[in-house]
Amino acid sequence: MRSPVCALLVSAFIVGPMNFAGKFMALLAGIVGLVCSATATAQQPHTLTGDIRLHKNFHSTILNNDRDVIVYLPPGYDLEKAKRYPVFYMHDGQNLFDGATSYIPGQEWRVDEMAQSLIAAGKIEPLVIVGIYNTGKDRINEYTPAEDAKYKMGGKADLYGRMLVEELKPFIDRTYRTRQGAENTGLGGSSLGGIVSLYLGLKYSNVFGRLAVVSPSVWFANYHIVHYVEALPTKPMVRIWLDIGAREGSTDQEAQQSVAGARILRDALSKKGWQFGKDLQYHEAEGAEHNERAWAARTGPILEFLFPRTR
């Protein structure tokens, strides 16, 4: 569990109604939670499954910072030396595989367990999954393409995208046996991670062809992501999973606003030519809140839609 000091700090950020200001303060709570993660790691058992490789302190010259990168390799990776694999890059890497490092101690996406199970069942392609740790204090800035005028934060997603495309992806391609091409490369995340996945996926559609936009914070920077989609000159060939939980808010009204925002984004994509059930999957998760436990419950369908077994 968190220490009392950590719990107090997080509570100070999230107490009160989740209106626009409340939503923003909840994002800041995530930063406080990450500051406390060292204590959580010491108290929680590790829950890693399968072949996991950790790259500590991956340095970005573009962002001038360091972050850990954690990589899941599919069963048989070391045995089939000639085989190459598609790659799924995911944000908030500390929350994906391990309850000992996740923002909410003990709650993780269970991406490793789900990938192992679905690969064994022949439901998805064997794939490499790259978890990109956030850096805590820089998360809001790096995960948003525009500054929020009211709070004067955000707007460094273009630099974060350059880090992914110019630094991290070449490193992964050199280090592991990956398949090239946008059709073999995915990008995904939740909350602001969902926003940056869609933004960068559309900006770099020649690099990322499969996107997981999970519980996106559509409201950030006055619905900037919706306006970005509406301004696209042409529809890129990108396959998109988009979802939202029906209880993402501290009140019924706020939950309804979250769902409404996701529907606005869904409709903007549809108007640009994405087709439901073909290259766009939209899902509203009944009773689901805005947390890792809820996202873990949707990890299976996300992987099956984006990386279905085709051969």
Tell me the CATH number at 249: 3.40.50.1820
Domain that holds residue 253: 49-306
**Is 18 a domain residue?**
no
**Is 25 a domain residue?**
no
- What does the chain come to in residues? 311
Residues 187-197: pLDDT tens digits?
Answer: 999 999 999 99
Counted domains in the chain: 1
Give residue 62's Cα distance to chain centre.
Answer: 21
Write the DSSP assignment of the chain as a string of letters: ---HHHHHHHHHHH-S--SHHHHHHHHHHHHHHHHTHHHHHHHS-----SEEEEEEEEEETTTTEEEEEEEEE-TTTTT-TT--B-EEEEESGGGTS-TTTSSSTT----HHHHHHHHHHTTSB---EEEEE---STTHHHHT-SS-BTTTTB---HHHHHHIIIIIIHHHHHHHS-B--SGGGEEEEEETHHHHHHHHHHHHTTTT--EEEEES--TTHHHHHHHHHHHT-SS--S-EEEEEEETT-SSSHHHHHHHHHHHHHHHHHHHHTT--BTTTEEEEEETT--SSHHHHHHHHHHHHHHHSB---
**Is 174 a domain residue?**
yes
Residues 92-101: pLDDT tens digits?
Answer: 999 999 999 9
**Is 43 a domain residue?**
no
Measured CA to CA in angstroms, residue 231 lies from 177, 214, 234 at distances of 36, 22, 9
**Is 145 a domain residue?**
yes
**Short-list 124, 126, 111, CA closest to 304:** 124
Beta bridge partners of 213: 189, 242
**Is 238 a domain residue?**
yes
**Is 104 a domain residue?**
yes
pLDDT tens across the length of the chain (311 residues) = 333 333 333 333 332 334 444 555 555 545 444 444 444 445 789 999 999 999 999 999 999 999 999 999 999 999 999 999 999 999 999 999 999 999 999 999 999 999 999 999 999 999 999 999 999 999 999 999 999 998 899 999 999 999 999 999 999 999 999 999 999 999 999 999 999 999 999 999 999 999 999 999 999 999 999 999 999 999 999 999 999 999 999 999 999 999 999 999 999 999 999 999 999 999 999 999 999 999 999 999 999 999 999 87
**Is 225 a domain residue?**
yes
Structure token digits, residue 74: 């599919």
